[in-house]
C-alpha cells in the first residue's frame, strides 16, 4: 500500500504538481520505521520529518523476466508523472531520492478507510443492486463468487490511466479507498512495457464510451509527450516504451471506448488482491 502525510505536515496535497515540495529534498533525513512484509519487493514505511512515506529501494527490487532490472522505481515515478498530466490525482505524489538502502522510490502514504473496499469479491447471490460493476464470476471455497468494483468517476479514471500506462498489475489491493472518498492507485512498477501487458481488475466498463473529460485527459498526455512530459519521462522509460505510450493514447482516442481484453496474456492479475 501507499502512503499519506500527517494532518499537520507542511506539504502540499498529492496532485498539487510534480514538485514534491520540501520533503523531496535529500537534505531531509529518510528514517525507516517499519517493513511491509507482504510486498513482493523490499518496501519500507518511513518518515521524512513529520511526513509518512513508503520507500522502495532499487536494491530491493526482485528481478523479472520481462522488465529490466533495477528500473521499477523509475516506472513508479513515470506513472505519477502521467497521472499528473492526466490531471486526475490517480497516483499519490511519487519521486526518486536517496535513502538508507540507496536510491529508491518514495511515495506519500495514504491512510485507507478500513470499513470500505473499492474492489471486492462477493457471493453471486449478494451482488449489490447499483453503484458497482461486475468484472467476472467464478467458484469460491463456499460457492460462486463475483469480482466487482465501484462504478465511480474516480475508478473510471483509474481504468483509463491503466490503459494508458499499460499496467500489468492492477490488483484489488492496489486500489486505495480513502475515508474522504478519494481513490488512489499504487504499485506501478509493472507499467510502460512496449508490448501489450494490461492486467487489471477494473474491467467493468468494457465497451462504454469515454467521457469528454476522459478523452481530454488522454489527449493532454499525448500532447505532452512532445514537450515537457516526454522530456521528464525519457530518463525513466525507454524510447520504444515512449513510442508505445503515444500509440496507446492514439488508439484509445480513436476507439473512444474502454477497450476489451485481448491477446494471449491473462486479463486479470493473480492473485486478484
Q: Which helix (H) or strand (E) holds 138?
A: strand 132-140
Report CA 188 to chain centroid distance, whole Å. 5
If you write DSSP's letter for every residue of 226-267 in order, what string do you get?
TTHHHHHHTTTS-HHHHHHHHHHHHHHHHH-BPPPP-SSS-S
- pLDDT at site 24: 62
Find cell 529518510 and name the residue. 30
Q: Roughly what angle, to the nearest 10 degrees, separates helices 153-165 and 72-86?
A: 130
**Cα dihedral 106→94→52→160 (10° resolution):** -130
213: its cell numbers: 473529460
| Whole-structure pTM value | 0.90
Residue (of 189, 167, 163) closest to 67 by Cα position: 189
State the pairing for strand pair 183-185/30-35. Answer: unpaired
- pLDDT at site 18: 37
Tell me phi and psi for residue 47, to 5 degrees.
Answer: -125, 140
Query: Do the beta carbons of residue 99 and residue 182 sit within 8 Å?
Result: no
- pLDDT at site 263: 84
Helices (H), the chain: 72-86, 153-165, 212-224, 228-233, 239-255
Q: Exposed/middle/buried for 178, CB within 10 Å: 0-12, 13-18, 19+?
A: middle
Per-residue pLDDT of the chain (273 residues; tens, 9 = 90+): 333 322 222 323 333 333 445 566 677 899 999 999 988 899 999 999 999 999 999 999 999 999 999 999 999 999 999 999 999 999 999 999 999 999 999 999 999 999 999 999 999 999 998 999 999 999 988 889 999 999 999 999 999 999 999 999 999 999 999 999 999 999 999 999 999 999 999 999 999 999 999 999 999 999 999 999 999 999 999 999 999 999 999 999 999 999 999 888 899 999 999
Amino acid at each position: 500500500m501507499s502512503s499519506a502525510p500527517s494532518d499537520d505536515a507542511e506539504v502540499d496535497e498529492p496532485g498539487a504538481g510534480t514538485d514534491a515540495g520540501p520533503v523531496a529534498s535529500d537534505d531531509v533525513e529518510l528514517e525507516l520505521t517499519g517493513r511491509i512484509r507482504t510486498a513482493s519487493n523490499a518496501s519500507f514505511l518511513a518518515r521524512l520529518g513529520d511526513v509518512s512515506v513508503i520507500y522502495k529501494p532499487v536494491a530491493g527490487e526482485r528481478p523479472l523476466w520481462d522488465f529490466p532490472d533495477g528500473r521499477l522505481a523509475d516506472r513508479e515515478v513515470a506513472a505519477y508523472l502521467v497521472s499528473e498530466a492526466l490531471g486526475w490525482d490517480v497516483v499519490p505524489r511519487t519521486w526518486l531520492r536517496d535513502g538508507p538502502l540507496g536510491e529508491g522510490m518514495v511515495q506519500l502514504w495514504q491512510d485507507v478507510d478500513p470499513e470500505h473496499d473499492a474492489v471486492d469479491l462477493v457471493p453471486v447471490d449478494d451482488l449489490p443492486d447499483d453503484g458497482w460493476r461486475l468484472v467476472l464470476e467464478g467458484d469460491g471455497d463456499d460457492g460462486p463468487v463475483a469480482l466487482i468494483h465501484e462504478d465511480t468517476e474516480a475508478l473510471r479514471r483509474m481504468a483509463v490511466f491503466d490503459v494508458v500506462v499499460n499496467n500489468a498489475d492492477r490488483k484489488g489491493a492496489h486500489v486505495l479507498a480513502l475515508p474522504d472518498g478519494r481513490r488512489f492507485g499504487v504499485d506501478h512498477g509493472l507499467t510502460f512495457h512496449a508490448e501489450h501487458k494490461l492486467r487489471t481488475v477494473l474491467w467493468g466498463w468494457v465497451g462504454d464510451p469515454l467521457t469528454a473529460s476522459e478523452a481530454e485527459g488522454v489527449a493532454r498526455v499525448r500532447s505532452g509527450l512532445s514537450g515537457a512530459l516526454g522530456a521528464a519521462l525519457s530518463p525513466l522509460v525507454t524510447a520504444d516504451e515512449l513510442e508505445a505510450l503515444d500509440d496507446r493514447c492514439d488508439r484509445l482516442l480513436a476507439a473512444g471506448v474502454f477497450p476489451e481484453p485481448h491477446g494471449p496474456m491473462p486479463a486479470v492479475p493473480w492473485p486478484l488482491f
